[in-house]
Amino acid sequence: MGRSFDVSDTTGSHDRPIRHGAYPELTLPAVLVGYGIGSVIALSIGYAALILGFSIEGSELAAICGWGILRGIMRRTSIVENNINQTIASAVNGASAGMMFSVPALFILARENPDTYGDLTKFSPTLMVLACITGGILGLAFIIPLRRQMIDFNRLAYPGGIAVASILKSPGAGTRKAMLLLGGAAVSGIAYLLMLTFVGEDPKGPLGDALGLPTYLNLTFFLSLMTVGVGFLSGKGGMVFGYGGFICYFVLAPLLLFFGAPEVKEMIDPVAAAAANGSPLDAEAAADALKGVPNALRFELFRPTGIGMLIGAAIGGIIAAFPLIRSALKSMQDAAREKAHGDGDTADELSIGTLYAGIIFGAVALIVIAKLCSPEMTLGRAVAMAVLGTLWIWVAGVIVSECLGRTNWSPLSGMTLIAVTILILISSGLGDNASIVSSVIVGAAVCVAIAQAGDMMLDLKSGYLVGARPRMQQIGQLLGTWLGPILVMGLIFVLDKSHGLGSDQLPAPQGTALATVINGIVSGDVPTWRYTAGAGLGAMLAFSGLGGIGVLIGLGFYMPFATVLTYTIGCLTRILTERYKGRRFVEDVGIPIAAGLIVGEALVGVGNAFYRIIAGAA
């Protein structure tokens, strides 16, 4: 089914060579450029995920950079070739979300409880990488048979895939966008370098103090162009994340100050509480007490509630997705039947036999990996963990792909929380550290698998719109699954050594949430009523029909409010720019610059981490 062309007119100002035969698609230049761009994106977005608590798709960024390199430098003009580049690049980036949401939990637990969990960081990085590569293969093998059902028949929108297709169809504009992206990266990188030099590692702008506002409002900005850029890319849909933070500090905190229990009132206004108890604080003690109010509110009240909302929203999403799972089973059965009878157009798909072989291989590999996680691991438990992980990859992959198709939102974090929680229950009895390490390794494989499944469907939608061959994209995605886990695993070790995961500089919100849940389960110290209240609210929002609102508000609850405020500025900038300059300006100018803001600051941040390690060792 090769797409061919034959041009006989050799005239023209550029005298470009005339091509005959199939359009270049899965070529060596596309693969190598995809690896290069994917590596930069994975490092940049992986770094950003540790600060912001969520990841972003790399496909648009890869398509823009692809035109800059393939067309601008290499003089290659095939749209479907650049489509392969962005498919491979986004596959490499798939590990940035999957691993950054799970692996940091081990480092955070060891850092916060060294006496109890100090040995957690001694896990095998090789096993972790192999598990994540295996997970990626499983996720793709499960989701590829659903392409025709979700894209050809159900015609799911996949807004992210449509956006990428529009970039692929405009090679000339893509080159200009690549230059804007580089400009944004230069500005962001230089600004962050100056910030590191003159302000420090944790730049904050305490606007509330300057305005004399109550401390519990926590009106402090995180000085970061990268965060503004992520907010701009999210636009109106990302405002829900900001709402979560504002609800905490501008609605709940004032209400709790007046109507909360005495211990809660004391947490919000310790100065007034001390005076009421007949022990007024002097000016210095009062200032110190007020400084701790925002963190006390976040750690004691809002973060546990936000974690509960993530879990509740994920469970609600699973219940709501039962019809999708039934449809997925039917699609796989139909694909196998068509292959057996020779019906249907399956020539441009990976064969169902190949995909089933991939599932069997992945499940067996996951059993071996689980068994090798700890000397205490029994074969029975390893089989149980691998089987559960494999089934969860399929169920969660279907749900995430459907959510992305309808709303461009992914409930990845909630799915990971649930998976690791169940895995810990299965592995209980091995000893706390052995149980945690094995659960996080298998859980990371699950998380990467879900991320790869969602990304595959987005990329297949883009390919559908530009006339690409699904088989070529499916092969390209599989070619990209191995590199990301290696890069991200190395990045995690570098950043933990330089700053410490879970620190103020790298809060790793998703990893912190997972670490909190794990510690609560293992120690038996679970803030039950906060988790339950949050889970109930998250489940209600999941059934509201507003895709992702429960997860996004939950993220706003437990994220540092300084980050939420700065992110919201980016969202508002996108909304106002679109209103006054138009959507075309946003797509042609705003989005490339915003993507550059992310890449520039992130790469300088990673470079700074390497510098700190080298300088410390000197």
Asked if pLDDT for residue 6 goes beyond 50, the answer is: no
Asked if 509 and 558 count as a contact pair (C-beta separation under 8 A), the reply is yes
- Residue with the bigger pLDDT between 250 and 330: it is 250
Residue-wise pLDDT tens digits, 502-530: 888 888 888 888 898 888 888 877 777 77
Asked if 222 and 565 count as a contact pair (C-beta separation under 8 A), the reply is yes
Asked if pLDDT for residue 29 goes beyond 60, the answer is: yes
> pLDDT tier at 414 (50, 70, 90 boundaries)?
confident
Give the mean pLDDT of the chain: 84
Measured distance CA(109)–CA(519) in Å, rounded: 8
pLDDT of residue 425: 85
pLDDT of residue 8: 39
pLDDT of residue 154: 57
Measured distance CA(551)–CA(415) in Å, rounded: 11
Residue-wise pLDDT tens digits, 483-501: 999 999 999 999 999 989 9
Among 31-35, 306-310, 338-342, 382-386, the minimum mean pLDDT is found in 338-342
Q: 389: closest CA among 441, 436, 443? A: 443
Residue-wise pLDDT tens digits, 256-307: 888 888 888 888 888 888 888 878 877 778 777 777 788 888 888 888 888 8
For residue 288, give every residue at least 6 positions away whose Cβ sits within 8 Å of its Cβ, in sequence order, or none: none
Among 3-17, 258-272, 434-448, 451-465, the minimum mean pLDDT is found in 3-17
Asked if pLDDT for residue 441 goes beyond 90, the answer is: yes
Asked if pLDDT for residue 605 goes beyond 70, the answer is: yes
CB half-sphere exposure, 268, CA atoms < 13 A:
23
Asked if 52 and 232 count as a contact pair (C-beta separation under 8 A), the reply is no
Asked if 244 and 306 count as a contact pair (C-beta separation under 8 A), the reply is yes
Domain ranges in the chain are 23-205+295-617
pLDDT of residue 213: 82
Mean pLDDT calculated for residue range 403-413: 68
pLDDT of residue 495: 94
Mean pLDDT calculated for residue range 471-481: 94
Among 36-45, 109-118, 169-178, the minimum mean pLDDT is found in 169-178
The number of beta carbons lying within 10 Å of the beta carbon of residue 553 is 25
Asked if pLDDT for residue 609 goes beyond 60, the answer is: yes
> pLDDT tier at 209 (50, 70, 90 boundaries)?
confident
Most confident segment among 220-229, 331-340, 552-561:
220-229
pLDDT of residue 478: 95
Give the three-class secondary structure for 572: helix
Most confident segment among 84-93, 405-414, 460-469:
84-93
For residue 143, give every residue at least 6 positions away whose Cβ sits within 8 Å of its Cβ, in sequence order, or none: 397, 398, 401, 452, 453, 456, 457
Mean pLDDT calculated for residue range 155-182: 83
- Burial per residue of 75-86, b for 16 or more beta-carbon CB atoms within 10 angstroms, e otherwise: ebbbbbbbbbbb
Amino acid, res. 244 = G
Q: 530: closest CA among 541, 520, 518? A: 520
Residue-wise pLDDT tens digits, 535-589: 888 888 777 766 567 777 887 887 788 888 899 999 999 999 999 999 999 989 9
Asked if pLDDT for residue 236 goes beyond 80, the answer is: yes
pLDDT of residue 545: 62
pLDDT of residue 7: 39
Measured distance CA(496)–CA(506) in Å, rounded: 9
Among 33-47, 241-255, 324-338, 477-491, the minimum mean pLDDT is found in 324-338
Task: Kindly report the backbone phi and psi dihedral angles of residue 157, in degrees, each rounded to the nearest multiple of 5, phi listed first.
Answer: -70, -45
pLDDT of residue 324: 63
Amino acid, res. 375 = P
Asked if 54 and 310 count as a contact pair (C-beta separation under 8 A), the reply is no
Asked if pLDDT for residue 381 goes beyond 70, the answer is: yes
Among 242-256, 450-464, 532-546, the minimum mean pLDDT is found in 532-546
pLDDT of residue 51: 86
For residue 217, give every residue at least 6 positions away whose Cβ sits within 8 Å of its Cβ, in sequence order, or none: 208, 249, 250, 253
